[in-house]
Structures are given as structure tokens and as C-alpha cells.
Amino acid sequence: MRLARESSRSSLRNGALSHGARTILLSAGLLALTACAGLAGLEGPDPEANGPHGSPIPSDGDSDAPSRPAPSEDCGDVANDATNCGFCGHSCGGAACSAGLCAPAVVARASTHVDAFVTDGVGLYTIDAQAVRSCAASGPATQACPELVTGEEIGSRLRMDDVDWGDWGWGGKGKELTSMPAIAPTAIALQSNRVVIADGTYEVVVVCPTKVPCTRINVGIVDTDDDAPVLGRSLTLSSSRLFWAQGNAIRTSPVPVPGLIVHASASRAASDTVDPARVLAAGADDLFWLSSEGLHSAKDVSANAERLSARDARDFAVDDGNAYLASASGLYRVSRADRTETLAATGTFAHVVADARGIYATRIDGGRTTVVDVRSGKVLELARVDFAVDGLAVAGEYVYFMTHASGAAEILRVPR
């Protein structure tokens, strides 16, 4: 929801806080994991052809999977043993094991569409058309997930900086506003102790703590300029900076501390940023983004960029040494050092995430989706659902994923 307010922009530019195109970043310090759009109906390999333990990685010399060793399967009935499900040592955590797959547990359910989610394994945060919600990552599925921050809190914080809301027509004259409109989140990220959200109503970036209620007193706000395009569906944090997609550009700012307002400090708009599907920061300096021209990296938005791959990918993830691309033709590993690209797994892949412990992806198998663990010599199947998967994350001992059936959203998890 983007509110029409062209007539009010000229008067607001002279105020203490420009209120045109803004981005709300709510900082709540967790792992920055963005959920991507799901893809359905694409054909992949037959999941039954490889048995309960998953499919072997091609051995034609072009494969270069993560270096974790493939687990043993010599521990009894790995097809049905819930303590050794699919492979030795893989416990279903109390869930049932069938055909070498753990039954995933639903940890959150919504009656409406959920656009994206992020988690650190303790908290789970979702965005929908008009709200940011906070849930427990452990469930139960019936839990109530309250709003993390409201338009009332954000609007009130902006009003503290003497913004005159009268021209906006939001329920009052001047500063005598009787109500604030709801937010319209477009993207969410998580790092350490803050949650970050881009919002399309107020067009600002707000940063909220996760450990205490997010109020007008402790939100941090990033103000973008009046003429910037609509906010995109991707944002990320490094150790000190925030990056987000906006139109055909990637913009950046310092991460605001609670209670303060900062401004976008730099922007990158070039042929390599056209239609940026996802941005991701790794460590203190490295920035990665996936656009219509492939996967790129740079030290900052103003630095020279390097194209790591021209492959048409749907999603990507990075670890200390490599980038991983999920595409219709397979899961690929790209060396960050020399840009060598090798096939890690065959199939049609829609999502991929990585952490220090492994690489996890979603593979489309006809009308079903399989969550897999990619290891050296093996693609291990963890769970399978009869729907498209609309987001993937890994935290703690679990892999989390989201599905939509009959318009309702479910976030599930399976032990890794």
C-alpha cells in the first residue's frame, strides 16, 4: 500500500524530516535471512528414483559440493527409524520418520498470505500486507503472533520531529492526528538483536530491538529522499551498515541506533543493479546482489563491482569461501576467490541458505517440494511437502520453510 501524497511533498521537504520515499528498518539483531517467492509446477527429478537417502551428486568431475562428509547409512532401518531418519544420526526430534523423511512440525500458522519470514531459532518474525508479527520459533502452530511495531508508533515517532501531518489527510489537522495508517512492509531482515523492515506506507526504514517492545522511543529510522522509487523486497545488514533494494538501485545507510533518525548516505544504480532480486551482506564489508545480469559482489555500493556469475538464478547464499546459486538447471557453487563455477546438485532449485554448518535448499520435484541438505557426495532429503515453498531459513538445529495452501500460510521446521 503506497499512499498518494505528491501534493504534500513540497511542504514536507522543509520540515525536520522529509517524508517522501522512506524505508522502515526495524532492528532486532538476528540472522538476515530473506524469504523469496515460491515457484510451482516446474518439473524436477523423480524423488522416488533415489530411495530414502536422496540423490547422489554427479560424479563427472564438474561437481564440487560443500566439504562436509556424507553421513553413514549403516545403522539399521534409516527409512523408518526416527533417531536415524534417512541417514545415521539424523533425529526427527520426536516427529515420525517415513521413507527416510522426518514429518515437519508446523510452528506458526496464519489465515492470510505471509510475504516473508526470518528467524534466529528463538524468535520468528513475519510480514504480511499490513503488519510485522513476532512469534516463537518453537511454536506451537496455534500461537498468537502479536504485532512487533505499528503504524501508530512509527507515525508518532516521526511526529516528534515536527513533521506536519495535516497535508497528508490522515485523520486530523496539523499535529492533531487522531490515527495513523497501518504499515505495509515490503522486506524483512534479522541480525543479532534487531529486526529490520522496509515499509511502503511511511516509506522509511525503521530499526526495532527484539528483546523489548518496539515503541516510538526506541525505534531507529532511516530516511530516504523524496524522489526515490518504491522500496523493493530485499534488504540486509552488515556489521555496521544497512543495504536495501529501491527501484533499480541498491541504497545504503548507517544502522540507526534506537531513537535516532539517519539518512541514506549512498546509492548504486548501474546496469548490474537492474531489477535487484536480492541483496545480501557477508561479514563487515562484502556486499552481494542478484540482478538481471547475474550475481555480483563489491566492498560497498560505491566500490567497483565484480560479476561472480552470469547464471540466471532464483536465489543465492554465501559462506566464507563460496556463493551458491539456486536455478532451474541445478544448484551451483561459485568460488569467491577465482569465480570458478561448478555443479553441486542436479535438479530444479528455488531457494538456498547457508551457514557455518551447511548448505540447505529447496528442490522442486513435480508438484512437490523437497528440502535438502547438500553434502560432499550426497544430496540428503530432509522433508517433502505437496506445495510450493515460499521461503527458507536455517537457525539452530532446524531448517525452516513456509508454504501456502488454500490462501493460508504455514511455517514449518525439520531437524537438520
Helix (H), strand (E) at residue 102: strand 101-102
> How would you classify the pairing of strands 378-385 and 368-375?
antiparallel
What digits encode the pLDDT tens for the residues 265-280?
889 998 899 888 889 9
Please give the distance of CA 108 from its chain centroid, rounded to a whole number.
Answer: 17
Q: Single out the residue of 265, 332, 253 nearest to residue 295, CA to CA.
A: 332
Task: Indicate whether 252 pLDDT > 70.
Answer: yes
* 238 grid coordinates: 552488515
- Number of other residues whose CB lies within 10 A of the CB of residue 186: 26
What average pLDDT score do residues 200-213 get?
88
Give kind and range of the element (H or E) at residue 413.
strand 408-415
DSSP, collapsed to helix, strand or coil, labels residue 175 as: coil
Whether the per-residue pLDDT at 395 is higher than 90: the answer is yes
Higher model confidence: residue 366 or residue 43?
Answer: 366
CA distance 42 to 396: 31
CA–CA distance, 81 with 75 (Å, rounded to integer) = 9
Burial class (CB in 10 A: 0-12, 13-18, 19+), 187: buried
Q: Are 289 and 296 in contact (CB under 8 A)?
A: yes
Strand positions, DSSP E, 138-293: 147-149, 172-173, 176-177, 185-191, 194-199, 204-209, 220-223, 231-237, 241-246, 249-254, 261-263, 266-268, 278-282, 286-291
Residues 185-203 have pLDDT tens digits of 999 999 888 999 999 888 8
Q: What is the pLDDT of residues 147-186, one digit of tens each?
A: 999 998 888 888 776 555 444 455 444 455 567 889 999 9
Would the pLDDT of 23 be above 70?
Answer: no
Is residue 35 over pLDDT 50?
no
The pLDDT of residue 32: 38
pLDDT, position 59: 41
Pairing state of beta strands 261-263 and 220-223? parallel
- Give me the residue spans of the domains in the chain: 1-31+120-304, 40-104+312-389
- pLDDT tens-place string over residues 94-138: 999 999 999 999 999 999 899 999 999 999 999 999 999 999 999
Please tell me the predicted confidence (pLDDT) of residue 310. Answer: 96
- pLDDT recorded at residue 18: 37
Rounded to two decimals, the pTM is 0.83
Say which residue, 11 or 207, is predicted with more confidence. Answer: 207
Q: Which residue shows C-alpha cell 541498491?
A: 250
Task: Tell me which long-range contacts 302-309 makes (C-beta under 8 A, separation of at least 24).
Answer: 302/266, 302/268, 305/268, 305/270, 305/272, 306/339, 307/272, 308/334, 308/336, 308/339, 309/334, 309/339, 309/341
The answer to whether 305 and 335 have CB atoms below 8 angstroms apart is no
Residue 106's CB is within 10 A of a number of other CB atoms, namely: 14
Specify the pLDDT at position 231.
87
Nearest to 278 by CA among 200, 351, 387: 351
pLDDT digits (tens, 9 = 90+) for 53-82: 445 444 443 444 445 666 877 888 999 999
* The predicted structure's pLDDT at residue 243: 93
Residue 297, pLDDT > 90, answer yes
The conformation of residue 271, written as its DSSP 8-state character, comes to: G
The whole-number pLDDT of residue 277 equals 84
